[in-house]
Amino acid sequence: MIKEINSAKALIKQGNLKAALAMLLPVTENNAAVNEQLMMHAARLSDLSKKESMGMVSFENAHLTRNQIAYAVIDLLGNMEEEAGIQQKRVFISYNHKDAAIANLLKDHLVKAGIDVTIDSEAMGAGENIKTFIEKSVRDTETTLSIVSVNSLLSAWVAMETLNTFGLQLGQVTKKFIPCYIQPDFFDAGFTDKAGLQLDEKIAGLADIIGARLKKAKTAWMLTKSIAA
């Protein structure tokens, strides 16, 4: 059942609520109470689709109703997991965006194995604070799976995700940190020196940008003061 529940959740995330309900109905026939609720939601969704095709409901109201049905089904799936005593494993994938292809491939394999995966490309909302997202993702999952590469080792955000996981490990919360390296460069004795040089270059570049902006701000201030005089 866990496989079907995960597949249904994935379909709902993709916006395919009808397919999720169609998949769940046959596998819940032995659970009359759950099956009846799913049939009710399916009937409500079907009725909504008919009204949409006839122009009897506005786009806003249709969107609201569809979301209400989706949330109700997700809540029902959560109850099914609890009743079945299913404790789904939850993993947060930490990676640098330059390694996104590998991260998403890993995510797909984990989801197929029945593991609930949090990854920023799907879970992070537009405009959401990155630091807050990282802290929440590490806190709400049991395992942080870190994709280790030259890109990630030079990433401040990946470092924050690692430190947050280790920080929770020192407390009373059980957390796992699993590094998966895709490049062996860091085994090279000279890697630290090379990485240090790259970081120094980044810092120097930032210093130049800050200096230029301060100079621009000072010029604008002097111009404003001159006009005011």
What is the per-residue pLDDT across 127-149, written as a single tens digit (0 to 9) for each?
667 778 777 888 888 888 888 88
Burial of 67 (0-12, 13-18, 19+ CB in 10 A): exposed
Spans in the chain with pLDDT lower than 70: 1, 84-88, 123-128, 156-157, 159-161, 163-174, 229
The CA distance from 57 to 137, in Å, is: 38
Residue 76 has a pLDDT of 86
Burial of 182 (0-12, 13-18, 19+ CB in 10 A): middle
Predicted structure pTM score = 0.48
What's domain 90-186's architecture? 3-Layer(aba) Sandwich (3.40)
Question: Is the CB of residue 73 less than 8 Å from the CB of residue 63?
Answer: no
Residue 172 has a pLDDT of 47
What token pair was written down for 159? 């470092």
